[in-house]
Amino acid sequence: MPSVSSSAASHPAAAPRGVDVHPLSPALGAEIRGVDLTRPIDEATFSVIADAWREHLVILFRDQVLSEEDQVRFAQRFGALQGRPRPASMRAETAVKHPEIMLVSNIRENGKPIGSLPDGEMQFHSDMCYIEQPAKGTFLYAIEIPSVGGDTHFLNMYAAYDALPAEIKAKIDGRQAVNVFQYGSTSREGNNPDFDEHPHYTHPMVRTHPDSRRKALFVNRLMTWSIEGMEDAESAALLDALFDHIEQPKFIYEHKWRVGDLLLWDNRCTLHARTDFSDKERRLLRRCVIQGDKPY
Ligand code: SIN
């Protein structure tokens, strides 16, 4: 990918020396170099980051050595941290200071995972799309990474929407779908949500991003269960067709983690998924999210 000096990018902010934005794939994603997230970030640098995030949807910072405080401080530049909907009694994390921090890890102590979302592959989803105000942005920091797999794939939902045939757009614009998370579930197959127990919320299938004003698809294989006001068979067939359309390689950036990576993604216009990895290797990442608006 060609490197784009931030001073040459479309935003008017003058780029501080040494801060560069490098696109990661034709679909989405950019790496920002020249920023140390342990240090205070001045307004000029922050506006380069914010502009790049708006343009590229997923931002990577490599080789960061971040404490929990550093990660929280950086995330809070983008908004208020979002609390975790999962009841504290269902969580294992004890080693975090902020209740909003979640460890994503397969490491176990006394047989119990120290974090959430522990094992193996996870299908595409948008964080917390099953609550009224889903997460705006997610910040995920890599502490231990397996030698093979456990990659995170990102999907551009503006592009996926734009590429839909007009008759499908007409069918889904203005429609709502139910999103639900069956805690512990990593794939749709075999899910059978209990709506008395599992958190769920109905959201538009196509949402307008509050900053860019662009339309993005807002459905995903792991958590979007059914389309409101449609017969079950028709809803299932339409959702399957949408999932197959969305998950085309041309809309995807595949991220191979390195220790010290911090990724920031926009849940309002992207999805993410995780590839399988060995249960013989350790994987530990630290996550926090910032609160979003009710989609419209
Ligand atoms: C997540 O969905 O937040 C976790 C992604 C990952 O483990 O790569």
**pLDDT tens for each residue of 208-247:** 999 999 999 999 999 999 999 999 999 999 999 999 999 9
Q: How confident is the model at residue 94 (pLDDT cuts 50, 70, 90)?
A: low
Judge whether 124 lies within some domain. yes
Please tell me the residue having the least CA distance from ligand 1 atom 3: 127
Provide the domain count of the chain: 1
Test site for ligand 1: of 71, 122, 256, most ligand atoms within 8 A of the Cβ: 122
Q: Who contacts 24 (Cβ-Cβ below 8 Å, separation ≥6)?
A: 1, 30, 31, 56, 58, 60, 253, 255
Residue scoring higher pLDDT (111 or 280):
280
Judge whether 69 lies within some domain. yes
Can you give the CATH number for the domain in which 191 is found? Answer: 3.60.130.10
Judge whether 143 lies within some domain. yes
pTM of the model: 0.92
Q: How many residues does the chain have?
A: 296
Judge whether 73 lies within some domain. yes
Sign of the CA dihedral running 139, 143, 107, 254: positive
Instruction: Tell me the H-state helices in the chain.
Output: 43-56, 68-76, 157-162, 166-172, 232-246
Q: Assess whether 56 carries a catalytic annotation.
A: no
**pLDDT tens for each residue of 56-75:** 999 999 999 999 999 999 99
Judge whether 296 lies within some domain. no
184 Cα: distance to centroid of ligand 1 (angstroms)? 13
Set 22, 125, 153, 200: catalytic member? 125
| pLDDT over threshold 70, residue 7 | no
Judge whether 96 lies within some domain. yes
Three-state DSSP at 39 gives coil
Ligand 1 pocket residue status of 215, Cβ below 6 Å: no
Ligand 1 pocket residue status of 145, Cβ below 6 Å: no
Residue scoring higher pLDDT (235 or 95):
235
DSSP H/E element including 172:
helix 166-172
Cα(21)–Cα(240) distance, integer angstroms: 36
Judge whether 8 lies within some domain. no
Question: Which residues constitute the domain of residue 196?
Answer: 18-289
Sign of the CA dihedral running 257, 262, 267, 269: negative
- Closest approach atom of ligand 1 to CA 151: 8
Judge whether 11 lies within some domain. no
Q: Assess whether 11 carries a catalytic annotation.
A: no
Q: Assess whether 209 carries a catalytic annotation.
A: no
Q: Assess whether 293 carries a catalytic annotation.
A: no
Q: Who contacts 253 (Cβ-Cβ below 8 Å, separation ≥6)?
A: 24, 25, 27, 28, 29, 58, 153, 154, 156
- Closest approach atom of ligand 1 to CA 272: 2
Among 39-43, 159-163, 177-181, 186-190, the minimum mean pLDDT is found in 186-190
Set 56, 84, 188, 287: catalytic member? 287
Ligand 1 pocket residue status of 287, Cβ below 6 Å: yes
